[in-house]
Structure 1
Amino acid sequence: MANNFADLFEHAVDAMPERTALILGDRRLRFRDLDTRANQLAHYLATLGVGTGTHVGFQMHNSIETMETLIACFKLSAVPINVNFRYGPSELTYLYDNADLEVLLYHACYGEQVRAARAAVPGLRHVICVDDDVASWEFGIDALRYETVMKAGAPWRPFADRSGDDLFMMYTGGTTGLPKGVMWRQEDMWRVLGGGIDFYTNEYVTDEYQQSRTGAAGGQAIYYILPPLIHAAAMMPTFLALWCGHAVIFERRFDPERVWRQVAREQPNVIVITGDAMARPLIDAYRQHPVDVSSVIAIASGAALLSQSTKNALLELFPGAVISDSIGSSETGFGGIGFAQRDDDPARGPRVNTGRGAVIVDDDGAPVPPGAEGWLAKTGQVPLGYYKDPVKSERLFKTVDGERIVITDDRARREEDGSITLIGRGNMVINTGGEKVFAEEVESVVKAHPAVFDATVVAVPHERWGNTVAAVVALADGAELDFTEFCAHTRQHLAGYKIPRSLWIAERVLRAPSGKPDYGWARDHVAEREPDHRVPESGTANAPDPGGAALAEVGAAALEENRTADGGPRP
């Protein structure tokens, strides 16, 4: 079994050549045509010295050319490297150098940043510019033009000694730190995120032809992939769809109103999003201009989980669709899937049925009993490690009782029925008066307030308690926040010490392209300005924020829950 990304794609081409593969606006590309164009690009890249193991960067938003680039690299056993198109020159310089890029393809609108960063990375030998709807290739710059390159390449499939051992690498910044490359064998990545293990039954597929064989025997579905292809939450669902002979719709940029117009026009069956960052604007746009959504059978969120209030809204607006949350990461692949139910407690962590190999372990890596908390971990198909970082690799990727295991920073509880409840990321825990508060737990409750559109929770220093909980929120359109009522809302679901005691209102809450919170931005935001609201520590007249007796009572209760019987902080 080859179990190589290019082989799996070519199986689908051979089985279903005339089916539509990609849709972008008015453009449509059949499987046969996508294969031909990827061959042309692959042949030209080979003339530049691209072959087995060559690192080829793609600094591109979602487009047909982005997929042609990925497939061409896999055909040559080269390693495509995702480059975050939001990075500035200094960040790009670091990534180009750290990833040892030799060739880079980029959309023309990112040309200024590319030229500024490339000058500092002599190992980056060739750059290829792709025209887009914002900018075009500029005459006189030291970059090849994509369409010129395509015309020079041969249309037949290039020869390469491909295998399931070929490298797949995904650069991830997570929520903190510099970007780092997570290295996978392609067969392992196919197993954990590409359908090589059935997501619902946890059973292995029988052979490398099963997906294309099953797809050819059935009807074609249409996937609408909204996250950026520089993230596995979009790239892997796209490949999964193509390997099964399904069509994929892309958008160059996320535009909620346009999304619904495309839904009405193309009638997709599955919409892939990333958490509230996409779901909430989509909900607002749909309420303003509802369209026919009868074709949609599933709305699937990956990379960032949906809050309970968002799940409620999606279930109300789209009763004919299944709403799912998947957990996982670049370091673990698929970890589990959960399905939305109405009116769950927003303070309860997301609950999912685990994927194959997902376990909860203690600090020593041993599985915990039902009802116990621990660290979310993954066994079986796991990454090879971090690129050029053996220290971090050794810390995260371990061998326990002879079995490879990835132990993440995610805290979770093993339930009696075998499911798991996510609690929060250990590296984002807030210690207040000796109590641990997980940012995600508070964010879910804050976002359940009707006036709040989005929120990020961080710690702020406190002389007495070490840290207290703070929130940066963006309000829903036209909404005003009654802070007294907001505190009462959070207290319905959270212990007093978990309630945000200071609140900053921002025009918008910044997130990474994947939809994950940008905690660095939130910490900088709260450090640079005074809060818009603050829970007073007593009901005195000179409290920093007015609110009357009710607000003072909430603040006093919050402080009281941080004390022991003798008046000191909780241990």
Structure 2
Amino acid sequence: MSMTLALQRSIQATPDAVATVFHGRRRTFREFGDRVARLAGALQSIGMAPGDRVGMLGVNSDHWLEYMMGVWWGGGVLNPVNTRWSVPEIVYSLDDSDTSILIVDDHFLHRVEGIRASAKRVPVFIYAGAGEAPRDMVSFEALIAAATPVEDADRAGTDLACILYTGGTTGFPKGVVHSHWTLWSIGIQRLAQTPMQGDGVALHVAPLFHMGGIGRALVQFIAGETHVLAATFDAREVLQTIEREGVTDLLLVPTMLQALITHPEFDCFDLGSLKRMVYGASPIAESVLERAMAALPGVAFTHSYGMTECGGATSNPPENHGAEGRASGLSRSAGRATFGVVVKVVDANGQEVPRGEVGELIVRGPNVMLGYWNKPEETARALRDGWLHTGDGARMDAGGHVFIVDRLKDMIVSGGENVYSAEVENVIARHPAVQACAVIAVPHAQWGEAVHAVVVRKPGAQLDDAGLHDHCRSFIAGYKCPKSIEFREALPLSAAGKVLKRELREPHWAGQSRQVS
């Protein structure tokens, strides 16, 4: 299967339906398809050959989706660039993947000279902004206007589709390689799990360089529905856009969902069009989920668990978010394996553990990556005997529901007892004065490791160490309670909204060869 087939279907079946909406600019599938075919021809004219990598350094926009489909239409491979990276990190991904063309929008023009000065292979820079193209850059709009539309290159199946670099939370980023078939599988599996009605309107808030964002876009293209794009996340803008554009579908990470429902103007907007909410990418506090469901009673909530290496692996459907699901505890699960996927929980030897015991979650299905670009050893560690080893600690109940316990590396071993940070974070988040929190392991002379909490108070709230200790002791065993607490104004977040625990650990483990005891 080819990802461009979905676009071809919409151009044929619903050419006058709205394909993209961005900052008041609306384009039909006929207009979008023409621009994609012209962009493909333009990229070929400046050197893109089949399989060549083309990068995009820009915020969410209709240009981003044109880049996505235009590169595939012309036979190239996507290399979406993490917009939160520094120049050295960007250059690493460009050099590692041998990216020959880089599209840059107005937000990141200041990065161009640094990239040009340090990249091993200086890419052709294309300017996708609102003004005139800077010197030594080619205009995105001028390229499209001057180009002749070309036929779809029809790259499909095992042909490479994209290299998605991980966020670099440990060591150098790894380029996750997906084919057209694996991406098609990710999109179809999501669509089978959460069927669309054919007239849906999705708001893209999660960054499109992230698998969550790309996966959401794939679903919209396959279903032939409308894409509404927000350049970045702003809670008030999201609320306005839902009301103005009649948004039906929204994908948010928990930090975004919390910001949305706690916005002081939340009740000022008509959100009646919203039908489906998918959340994922990081653990969610029960208190946040409860409040979100209460604030949006007509919305079907789905939890999607996955990773860059496989897209969605499990899905917790709306029925598990109702009163019965909350009473049984299923609302706290990551659901069952997605259609077409098999998951297991295994021990260190790869043997499946009894139901209810914690082990590593492994995944098998057509959605699993081909491997890591230019990293055969890391690929061999992650892909074993046809299974993707996620590195996530989990348990499975008798009904096949998966409960993510923690990243295995985040497990804290204190005095011989295992403490899973997600459990402690859930308890801390229940305190009415807590806005956000993260729990990490810090070295301890007596216990080896100790539980350390980093907490962000809600604006104007009062909370001290003693109050939080008393709160935690009301819910969990003493050895799980934080032995030390640090209050901050904010937590460090990746572009995908995940807490960067590596940054929280660094001051405590500085000078040591590893970050576990």
TM-score above 0.5, yes or no: yes
Which string of whole-angstrom CA distances, capped at 9 and with x for unpartnered residues, describes residues 19-72 of structure 1? Answer: 111111211111111111111111110012212110111111100001100101
Corresponding residue of 1:365: 350
- Whether the 8 Å contact between 1:307 and 1:346 is mirrored in structure 2 is no
Alignment partner for residue 306 of structure 1, among 264, 270, 284? 284
Whether 1:412 aligns to 2:394 is: yes
CA distances 1:462-502 after superposition (whole Å, capped 9, x unpaired): 11112211122222122121432321222233221221222
Aligned twin of 1:457: 439
Per-residue CA deviations over 1:156-183 (Å, capped at 9, x if unaligned) read: 3434242222213211136322211111
* Map of 1:162 onto structure 2: 155
Q: Is the 8 Å Cα contact of residues 305 and 334 (structure 2) preserved in structure 1?
A: no
Aligned ranges 1:160-559 → 2 under 5 Å:
160-168=153-161, 169-173=163-167, 175-191=169-185, 193-196=186-189, 199-200=192-193, 219-275=198-254, 277-285=255-263, 288-338=266-316, 339=318, 340-341=321-322, 350-355=333-338, 356-381=341-366, 382-399=368-385, 404-524=386-506
Q: Which residue among 34, 46, 61 is the counterpart of 2:44?
A: 46
CA positional deviation for 1:347: 13
Pairing partner for 1:59 from 54, 57, 60? 57
- Separation in 1 of the partners of 2:169 and 2:332? 19
Q: 50-59 vs 299-308, which deviates more?
A: 299-308
Alignment correspondent of 1:204: none
Whether the 8 Å contact between 2:3 and 2:156 is mirrored in structure 1 is no
Query: In percent, how many aligned pairs have the same letter?
Result: 28
CA positional deviation for 1:219: 4.3
- Could you tell which deviates more after superposition, 172-181 or 229-238? 172-181
Q: Distance in 2 between matches of 1:297 and 1:365?
A: 40
SS for the counterpart of 1:194 is: helix
1-structure distance, mates of 2:334, 2:123: 47
The verdict on how the C-alpha distance between 1:313 and 1:6 changes in structure 2, with shifts beyond 3 A counting, is same
Maintained 8 Å contact 2:201/2:226: yes
Contact 2:443 2:508 in 1 (8 A): no
Cα deviation 1:290-338 (Å, max 9, x = unaligned): 3111111111113223221111111111111112211000112211112
Instruction: Show structure 1 runs of 5+ residues with no match.
Output: 202-210, 529-570
Q: Which amino acid aligns with 1:508?
A: A
User: What residue in structure 1 maps to residue 13 of structure 2?
Assistant: 15
Counterpart of 1:414, as a letter, is M
The verdict on how the C-alpha distance between 1:472 and 1:525 changes in structure 2, with shifts beyond 3 A counting, is farther
Question: How far apart, in 2, do the equivalents of 1:361 and 1:186 lie?
Answer: 30
CA contact under 8 A between 1:460 and 1:470: conserved in structure 2? yes
**1: CA distance, partners of 2:265 / 2:462:** 20
Aligned counterparts of 2:95 and 2:167: Cα–Cα separation in 1? 15
Q: How far apart, in 2, do the equivalents of 1:433 and 1:40 lie?
A: 63
SS in 1 for 2:335: strand
Q: Counterpart of 1:359 in structure 2: which amino acid?
A: K
Match of 1:129 in 2: 127
Farther-moved stretch of structure 1 (77-86 vs 442-451): 442-451
Q: 1:371 to 1:32 in 2, by over 3 A?
A: same
TM-score w.r.t. the length of structure 1 is 0.83
Contact 1:302 1:325 (8 Å CA) reproduced:
yes
Q: CA deviation at 1:114?
A: 2.5
> Quick one: distance in 1 between partners of 2:86 and 2:173?
13
1:4 partner SS: coil
Q: In the aligned structure 2, how far is the partner of 1:495 from the partner of 1:348?
A: 23
The 3-state SS of whatever aligns with 1:285 is coil
Report the alpha carbon displacement of residue 523 of structure 1 after superposing the two structures with TM.
2.3
In 1: Cα distance, 2:134 partner to 2:23 partner: 27
Q: Which amino acid aligns with 1:231?
A: H
Q: CA RMSD in A?
A: 2.4
Cα displacement (A) at 1:521: 2.2
- Structure-2 separation of matches of 1:223 and 1:198: 13
Q: C-alpha distance in 1, partners of 2:379/2:127?
A: 34
Alignment match, 2:514: none
- Residues 256, 161 of structure 1: alpha-carbon distance in 2 compared, 3 angstrom cutoff: closer
Offset of 1:371 from its aligned partner? 2.6
1:64-87 superposed Cα distances (whole Å, 9 cap, x missing partner): 001100101111221111111111
Distance verdict in 2 for CA 1:196–1:416, change over 3 Å: closer
Is the 1:175–1:516 Cα contact (8 Å) retained in structure 2? no
8 Å contact kept, 2:210–2:496: yes
Structure 2 CA distance for aligned equivalents of residues 521 and 229 of structure 1? 24
Give unmatched runs, 5+ long, in structure 2.
Answer: 511-516
The 2-side partners of 1:345 and 1:253 are apart by: 37
Q: Between Structure 1 and Structure 2, how many residues are aligned?
A: 502
Cα deviation code 1:512-559 (max 9, x no counterpart): 11111111222246689xxxxxxxxxxxxxxxxxxxxxxxxxxxxxxx
Q: Is the 8 A contact 1:303 1:514 kept in 2?
A: yes
Question: What amino acid maps onto 2:30 in structure 1?
Answer: R
CA contact (8 A) 1:305 1:326 kept: no
Computing the radius of gyration from Cα coordinates, the structure with the larger value is 1
Residues 69-110 of structure 1 show CA distances to partners (whole Å, capped at 9, x for unaligned) of 010111122111111111112212212111211110111221
Does the CA-based 8 Å contact 1:447-1:453 persist in structure 2? Answer: yes
Asked if 1 retains the 8 angstrom alpha-carbon contact of 2:455 and 2:486, the reply is: yes
8 Å contact 2:260–2:266 — kept in the other structure? no
